[in-house]
Amino acid sequence: MSPCLFSSISVILLSLAAVVHGEDTQHRNLSAVPFNEVKVQDEFWTPRIQTNREKSLPHNFKWCEKTGRISNFAKAGGLMPGKFQGIFFNDSDVYKVLEGASYSLADKPDAALEKTVDDVIAKIAAAQQEDGYLNCFYTIAKPGQRWTNLKDMHELYCGGHMIEAAVAHYRATGKKTFLDVAIKFADHVDRTFGPRKRHGVPGHEEIELALVKLYQATGQQRYLDLAKFFIDIRGDKAQREIWGPYHQDHIPVRKQSEIVGHAVRAMYLYSGVADVAAYSRDQELIDAMHRLWKNAVEEKMYITGGIGARHASEAFGDAYELPNDSAYCETCAAIGLALWAHRLNLMHGEAQYADVLERALYNGILSGIALGGERFFYVNPLASNGSHHRQPFFDCACCPSNVVRFVPSVPGYVYAVGESRSPLPSTEKSSKENAGRDASKTIHVNLYVAGTAKIKIGEHTVKLTQETRYPWDGKVKLSIEPDRLDVFAICLRIPSWCKDARVKVCGLAVKKLDIERGYLQLNGPWHSGDVIELDMPMEIQRIEAHPQVKADAGRVALQRGPIVYCFEAVDNGGHVRDMVLPHDPKFTAEYRKELLGGVTVIKAVDTKGREILAVPYHVWDHRQPGEMAVWVTQDGKPAAPKADDPAWQGKLYRPVEIRNPKREILNKSEIKI
């Protein structure tokens, strides 16, 4: 190991271009380190990715076969006779399962899985029409009626998922069999829709973000232009008939300020908008993203990262309409929120977006799949009377197939690379070592996941190794191995829940942590063998909701690190809905290896003197059925607190401390979401 030259490493502000939302046009872009360059070897994630590969994928392939989803392609391709089976958008589930399988192949080669994937792709290719059109329902059941009902029939939605799967397959395997199908389909769409062609948009958004992925894979500008076209004409009644708020089609995207309508559609649309805005530097779209993000996370997001409060239309409710028992919180919507947050993080280089991605990931997304990998939640309420359970599949199977593609994609969210606009400090020694080198390169660590990554920095490669027990423990060890002595910055995300992070570089404490935009930036030069140690103490926090969230009045939720907790009847004497925490509860955390795959639980005593226990929300409903609650009554907490407290400005949730018999709520520290 080479000596660590700590004197040549400086800790500085992550000073990006001043992004004052609505004013700046020089947005800093990060690029995600591809999923196939990150290898997870993690106590938390490795078992889940393995279960996804060994249980969830075979389970989903089986159900896609059983329900006719796969055989529909064979029928459309003339490989077998028969009628179309199932719902008109069933093609999309096959594509999502193939995308998940592709991520799994990148993680671990598997000849049997690869053959299954190749066989399904062959059926898809056979189903494609000569001109590139591909949709089993219209080919089999409604020939001659393609593109006649864009509002309701999901042709572009299905095609978008096909493109995403094809790009993932190409990146994972290097094969172009599926990518060629996607290109042929996209070229057909491009010949059909456009400024001087047909003006139409999909009722269910998805094609927008998929076309950007195809542009990234092929370099063909026309795909990015087509994505922008679909965004530009949405909500513009001067160009086409519009369909209203449910489809985010009531006013042009550039003028939207409130997030409305079907939650999953909104997330897919705004993910595509964020991609297009990042490439085009379109200030109106960037401003719209800021307004809509602010509205979503400050007024309409659950503490779990769930979104979409209403069962009716699977939609967002009004501001602060966040019921617990009747919360919809579709698993797909939480996944969509993570996709949107990831893109905004890449566009702005701000950790607040990765904070929300993490919140959704460890809570609202993982709750959607059982630990065994073969049962799923479509809806994720924050309270239950004991009658809500995961199911092996659904007629509308978007959630099982979506979570199965998302879990193995997690490696692609861990790191990003970019350019720092802050000048590097120099010492006499570092000035000599840095001579002739580009000191503006950065590696952002967005998620704390044990494993290794090979990261391209200019013409060179850096190997990073993370060691951590996150999310149960906040200690992270990051080992750095550049292929040569090099100058670049490592930017550590300091999560919004963390009050007192501590950092060492090669054993020497960094005394002052200047954290800007949620990141701590450490600059090299870096030597092979250099080590960064990050310690983020995980305090147990009681969280309160904004006073206008009527469902949570007088209640608190528990959070430790990124994990949101819930109380289940099986751990608490058979009932939890009448539970009351004392005004100054004493919490203890305990890791239980044999419980629910290994979890940290929280213990306390309620106002009746009984010992109570909370488990992570994402693992509820694995044992004896019974009541569940995330939000529980807090003794002395006012049921109708003042909503005009300026400390609530810009916040939906914050930690709370109750200090005296009057139960005064203090605001010593806050989660900024």
- The residues annotated as belonging to the active site are 314, 398
Question: Distance between CA 155 and CA 129 in Å, rounded?
Answer: 14
Q: Give 244's strand partners.
A: 249
Q: Which two tokens stand for residue 7?
A: 């004197």
Question: Distance between CA 168 and CA 173 in Å, rounded?
Answer: 8
- Report the Cα 62 to chain-centroid distance in Å: 27
- Expressed in angstroms, the distance from the first to the final Cα of the chain is 40
Any idea which residue has 């809509």 for tokens? 292
Question: C-alpha angle 118/124/129, rounded to 5°?
Answer: 145
Amino acid at site 551? A
CA atoms within 13 A on the CB side of 383: 20
Question: Distance between CA 652 and CA 129 in Å, rounded?
Answer: 50
At how many degrees (to 10) do helices 111-127 and 57-66 cross? 30
Contact 503, 532 (CB under 8 A): yes
Question: Distance between CA 18 and CA 27 in Å, rounded?
Answer: 9
- Report the Cα 668 to chain-centroid distance in Å: 29
Contact 67, 371 (CB under 8 A): no
Contact 650, 543 (CB under 8 A): no
Phi and psi at 544, nearest 5°, equal -115, 155
Burial of 658 (0-12, 13-18, 19+ CB in 10 A): buried
Closest CA to 422 of 357, 474, 489: 489
Burial of 452 (0-12, 13-18, 19+ CB in 10 A): middle
Amino acid at site 193? F
Closest CA to 286 of 21, 32, 28, 650: 21
Any idea which residue has 């004197």 for tokens? 7
Question: Distance between CA 599 and CA 350 in Å, rounded?
Answer: 30
Please list the alpha-helical segments (H only) found in 498-611: none
Question: Distance between CA 147 and CA 208 in Å, rounded?
Answer: 17
Question: Is 134 strand, coil or helix?
Answer: coil
Question: Is 319 strand, coil or helix?
Answer: coil
Contact 598, 43 (CB under 8 A): yes
Q: Give 503's strand partners.
A: 534
Burial of 23 (0-12, 13-18, 19+ CB in 10 A): exposed
Closest CA to 634 of 522, 534, 554: 554
Backbone dihedral region of 206: left (phi > 0), alpha (psi from -120 to 50 degrees) or beta? left
